[in-house]
Each structure stands twice: as structure tokens, then as C-alpha cells.
Amino acid sequence: MNSSNSVDVNGNAIRLIREQKGLTQLYLATVVGVTTDTISRWENRRYPSIKLENAKKLAEALEVSLEELLEAEAGAEGEDGSVAEGADSAAVQTATETSAAPIAAGRLQRLLARRRLWIGVGGGLLAVVVMVGFAVWSNRSDIRATRTMPTHTAPNLPFPVLIQTTGAVEAHNTLLIREELLGDCEAVGPADEGAAKQFGKNPRWIGKLSNGKAVFLYLVEPGKKLRPDEEIGFSGDVISREGQSAGDAIGGPTRIVIAPYHWVDSDKDSVISDSEILKAYETYSIPGENLINFTAIEELWLAGKYAWNKKTQTFVPSSLADGKE
Amino acid sequence: MRPFLVQILLALIFGGMAAAESGVVGRYLAGGGSDVQMLLTIQKPVPAAFIVLQQIPPGVKMTSASPAPSGFVQDGATVKWLVKRPRPGSLILSMQLSRQVAEEQLQGEISYRHPENGSLVVRKISY
């Protein structure tokens, strides 16, 4: 709608209704009080803007409600005709033509104003979307935590579990690693004031990333009642942001199987090879930490071969008969 | 010049030559004889541990070694050193044999896990 006393009507609708009712342009022109040229112009333009008074007369002449003649598409631009219609003489029509330039300028201004409005609204929405996106992005969790542990261990043999955390979290952000063990076992952490920290089934670690990395090592002592082929399960997450209720899940293996082989002996051939002991050192030894009894592992490695003693539930070194590793 | 000064000098010279290689590399300092010395050069990234295996020629026995080896395999035919938590720099392993051996009879290797990708690295000790 262009102004309070004019409306945008649907030119196509006028023509369609008129033809459906078998009315002529002359009839409409006579009833409304305009020329046939004016009626023709209204019909030939998609959304002519006409005086409200004439629109009502037009609706009466077509025997429809005014709403049925109004523009059907929101935001559609009105067509010229607001001055030409309403005149009942050729003189007025001539005047319309002579005043076309200022009318066009007015419409252009209205058009630009509408466009500015839409651009403003669109720009505002875009800015909101960008700000929300940035807020989400800046608050996202870059933390990645991975669990590393052996595939198997013996019934009575403690084994290490390493949680390696990497991320771009600022140094002041504190991390909370929460692990949960399922099965007959107990977790033990690094010594705290001389005594090893007893975690039970819920190892916890609070710390910060250093150069984008953090490592949490703990030992799990399988229960003595566990038998070969039974399992210990793991699940855990990392909390890295204030107010974070659900943590980021820790990736990596989630179970370990009980077997009569040392956890270092990854291929279960009863021999701890050079490659296997080096892997154990490289993966689980942390400077300053003495959680793992590497001395016992070295004894089995040097012996060449080992055997599982069911009675004592321990490994016994046994030299290879052929001297091979 | 005292023997240990010579060792240090040689360690500095050959250590510098090996500096271009990363990880752990080894080289025999003495070209045969009954006193065998191996210069190990350790570069960053440093592995958590490495193993040195030295073959002893048939009919020869090792009478002493410094540092003491971690163990022996095959009835003393192979000597093993497990070096834990090494620091970047140079390390000399020396051993005295029961008789002189030719340089080409010395065979040894160093193995370790690469600290960054965990792959097993095995390197021959060069002459």
C-alpha cells in the first residue's frame, strides 16, 4: 500500500473477475467513474495503486470483496495509476501523463526506502548469526582425549592406562578427566605424599595443558577373582569448560581381557621381545613416575621367556632352551 | 695424552659428525683389537629407552664392559644394553674382549621406538 488513501490492487485479478462475470471495461469505467483507458491500465499492470474510494467501487462493480482485489504478493511493488484513476475526464488523464516524472521519483524513493529497510533487517540478522556463531566457536571444546592401554593382562598383574589429552584450550583452563572402571579391579594413581593414590573404580585427574598436551597415567589392579577371558571395561570423559555438564568422551580402547600373558607381551608368545619392551617404555614411562615396575619386566625380557604360575598367580622367568629371544 | 681425554676428543669429533642424524646412532671408535668402544650419539627427539646389541665373535669372550651390560643372550654370544631415559648428547660403551678381533668382525645394532610415531627403528653400528 502506497499511502493511507490508496491501495495496491491486483490487475490480473481485476481482469480475471471481470471476464468471468462477462463485464466490459466500459461497464466498470462507468460504475467506478473513470475512463476505459484507466480500467485497461489497471488490468495491464500487475499491482496498480488506486484510490481506496475507487477500489471499493471497483469491488462493488465486480461483486467481490475489496480484499479479493488487493495485491496478493507481499512486498510487491505497486504500479503507477494512482493519479490517473479517480479522474473522470480526459483532462485529468492528460495531467497524469504530465506529472509522471515527479510520481516516478516518489515511487523510486519509496522503493529505495523499502530496500534500505530490508537491507537493514537482513544485515542485522546476519550480524546476530555471525555473533552467535563466533560465541559458539570461541567456546567450543578443542580437547581430545585418548586412552591407551594394553589389550590384555594377567589376573593378578597391574597394567597401565594412559590418557593423553591435546587441545587448544588456554593454559588457565583446568581440565578434569573422569574415568570409570567396570569389573573387578582397583585403580591406583601416582604417589601423593609418599603413598600411591587409591582411585577405586573412578580415577580422577585435575590439571592443565602444557604446550597443548597433558598426560594422566594410572595403574589398574585386576581383582584376584578375575579369570582368563573376563574383561574390565572403561569409560570416561574430559571436562574443559566452566559450566560444562557433559564432558567430551575419551577415545581409544574401552576394554581389556584377562589372559595368562604379560601385558607387555603384545603377541602373547610368552616372550617379551626387544620391540615389546621398547614399546612399553616409549608408551608408558613418564619421567619422575614410578608407577610401573619396569625392573620386573626387564627380568622377564632378559630371561628370554616366561611362564604363568597359576599357584602364585605370577610370571616366572624361564631361559630359552635354544638361547633365542 | 691420557686415554679418557682421547675418548672425549673423539666423542666430540664423531659426535658432531653424527649430529646431522636424529634419534640414536652408533659408531665403533676403535677399529678392532681387544678394546672395543662404541660412540652413541643421541639426538632429539630422544626415545624413552634404546637397546644396544653387540655380537661377540665365536671363540671370544667379553671380559669386562662399561657401563655394565643389562644381560647376555645365546650363552654370551650377544651382549645387551638397555639404556633408559637417555639424554641428548654422546655416550660411550666400551668392552674388553678376551682376544683381539678384526674390525669387520664387530657387529652391533641399536634399536628404539621413535618417540613421535612409535615405529621401531633399528640401526647398525657403523665403523
What does the domain layout of chain B look like in residue ranges?
Answer: 22-124
**Which residues 271-310 of A have a C-beta within 8 angstroms of B?**
274-275, 277-279, 281-283, 285, 287, 294, 298, 301-302, 304
Comparing A50 with B4, the larger pLDDT belongs to: A50
Answer whether residue A303 is part of any domain: yes
Q: Considering A116, A139, A162, which residue would you say is the last residue of a domain?
A: A139
Nearest by CB to residue B85, choosing from A287, A302, A323, is A287
**Confidence band of A107 (pLDDT split at 50, 70, 90):** low
Which of A278-292, A306-320, B37-51 shows the lowest per-residue confidence on average (mean pLDDT)? A306-320
How far is residue A222's CA from residue A232's CA, in Å, rounded to a whole number?
8
The total of other beta-carbon atoms located within 10 Å of residue B59's CB is 8
Instruction: Return the pLDDT at B92.
Output: 94
pLDDT tens profile B17-52: 444 467 999 999 876 788 999 999 999 999 999 999
Q: Is B88 on the interface with A (CB under 8 A)?
A: no
Which of A140-144, A214-218, B94-98 shows the lowest per-residue confidence on average (mean pLDDT)? A140-144
ipTM: 0.82
Contact (Cβ atoms closer than 8 angstroms) between residue A199 and residue A189:
yes
Query: Is the pLDDT assigned to residue B63 strictly greater than 60?
Result: yes
Q: Considering A139, A169, A187, which residue would you say is the last residue of a domain?
A: A139
Query: Is the pLDDT assigned to residue A252 strictly greater than 60?
Result: yes
Answer yes or no: do A116 and A186 share one domain: no
Query: Is the pLDDT assigned to residue A223 strictly greater than 80?
Result: yes
Instruction: Return the pLDDT at A69.
Output: 85
Q: Is B19 on the interface with A (CB under 8 A)?
A: no
Nearest by CB to residue A278, choosing from B51, B53, B80, is B51
What is the secondary structure of B50-83 as a DSSP string?
EEEEEEPPTT--EEEEESPPSEEETTTTEEEEEE
Answer yes or no: do A171 and A99 share one domain: no
Answer whether residue A259 is part of any domain: yes
Q: Is B2 on the interface with A (CB under 8 A)?
A: no
Alpha-carbon torsion (B7, B10, B16, B21), positive or negative: negative
Q: Which of the residues B50, B70, B73, B83 would you substitute to probe the A interface, choosing the one with the greatest number of A C-beta atoms within 10 Å?
A: B73
Answer yes or no: do A105 and A240 share one domain: no
**Confidence band of A85 (pLDDT split at 50, 70, 90):** very low
How far is residue B94's CA from residue B101's CA, in Å, rounded to a whole number?
14
Instruction: Return the pLDDT at A222.
Output: 94
Query: Is the pLDDT assigned to residue A88 strictly greater than 70?
Result: no
Nearest residue on chain B to A274, alpha-carbon basis: B51
Query: Is the pLDDT assigned to residue B100 strictly greater than 60?
Result: yes
Nearest by CB to residue A323, choosing from B75, B85, B120, is B75
Answer whether residue A25 is part of any domain: yes
Task: Give one word for A134, left, alpha or beta, with left for phi > 0 and alpha for psi -120 to 50.
Answer: alpha
Comparing A280 with A291, the larger pLDDT belongs to: A280
Q: Which three cell numbers stand for residue A92?
A: 485529468
E strand spans, chain A: 6-8, 49-51, 144-148, 152-153, 159-166, 174-182, 185-192, 195-200, 204-208, 213-222, 231-239, 248-249, 255-258, 306-309, 314-317
**Inter-chain residue contact A274 with B53, CB threshold 8 Å:** yes
Residue among A38, A52, A40 nearest A9 (CA): A52
Query: Is the pLDDT assigned to residue A124 strictly greater than 90?
Result: no
Q: Distance, in angstroms, between B53 CA and closest chain A CA? A: 10
Instruction: Return the pLDDT at A76.
Output: 38
Nearest residue on chain A to B119, alpha-carbon basis: A279
**Inter-chain residue contact A302 with B71, CB threshold 8 Å:** yes
Instruction: Return the pLDDT at B31.
Output: 66
Q: A-chain residues within 8 Å CB-CB of B49?
A: 277-278, 281-282, 285
Partnered with residue B80 across adjacent β-strands are B53, B71
Answer whether residue A189 is part of any domain: yes
Query: Is the pLDDT assigned to residue A93 strictly greater than 80?
Result: no
Query: Is the pLDDT assigned to residue A79 strictly greater than 50?
Result: no
Nearest residue on chain B to A324, alpha-carbon basis: B74
Which residue range forms the structural domain that includes residue A57?
6-139
Q: Is B75 on the interface with A (CB under 8 A)?
A: yes
Nearest residue on chain A to B52, alpha-carbon basis: A274
Answer yes or no: do A29 and A50 share one domain: yes
Q: Is A267 on the interface with B (CB under 8 A)?
A: no
SS3 label, residue A146: strand
How far is residue A293's CA from residue A276's CA, in Å, rounded to a whole number?
15
CATH (domain of A56): 1.10.260.40
Which of A100-114, A234-248, A310-324 shows the lowest per-residue confidence on average (mean pLDDT)? A100-114
Instruction: Return the pLDDT at A180.
Output: 96
Query: Is the pLDDT assigned to residue A145 strictly greater than 80?
Result: yes
| A/B interface, count of CB pairs below 8 Å | 53
Comparing A180 with A108, the larger pLDDT belongs to: A180
**Confidence band of B6 (pLDDT split at 50, 70, 90):** low
Has domain B22-124 been given CATH number 2.60.40.650? no
Peptide bond into B57 cis (omega under 30): no
**Average pLDDT, integer, range A281-308:** 90
Alpha-carbon torsion (A11, A15, A20, A22), positive or negative: positive
**Confidence band of A67 (pLDDT split at 50, 70, 90):** confident
Alpha-carbon torsion (A127, A131, A136, A138), positive or negative: positive
Answer yes or no: do A90 and A182 share one domain: no
**Inter-chain residue contact B50 with A324, CB threshold 8 Å:** no
**Confidence band of A132 (pLDDT split at 50, 70, 90):** confident
Q: Considering A139, A159, A188, which residue would you say is the last residue of a domain?
A: A139
Answer yes or no: do A297 and A251 share one domain: yes
Instruction: Return the pLDDT at A3.
Output: 52
Answer whether residue A1 is part of any domain: no
**Confidence band of A4 (pLDDT split at 50, 70, 90):** low
Q: Is B122 on the interface with A (CB under 8 A)?
A: no
Q: A-chain residues within 8 Å CB-CB of B73?
A: 304, 323-325
How many domains is chain A built from?
A: 2
The total of other beta-carbon atoms located within 10 Å of residue A265's CB is 24
Q: Is B17 on the interface with A (CB under 8 A)?
A: no
Q: A-chain residues within 8 Å CB-CB of B50?
A: 278
Alpha helices in chain B, H assignment, sequence order: 3-18
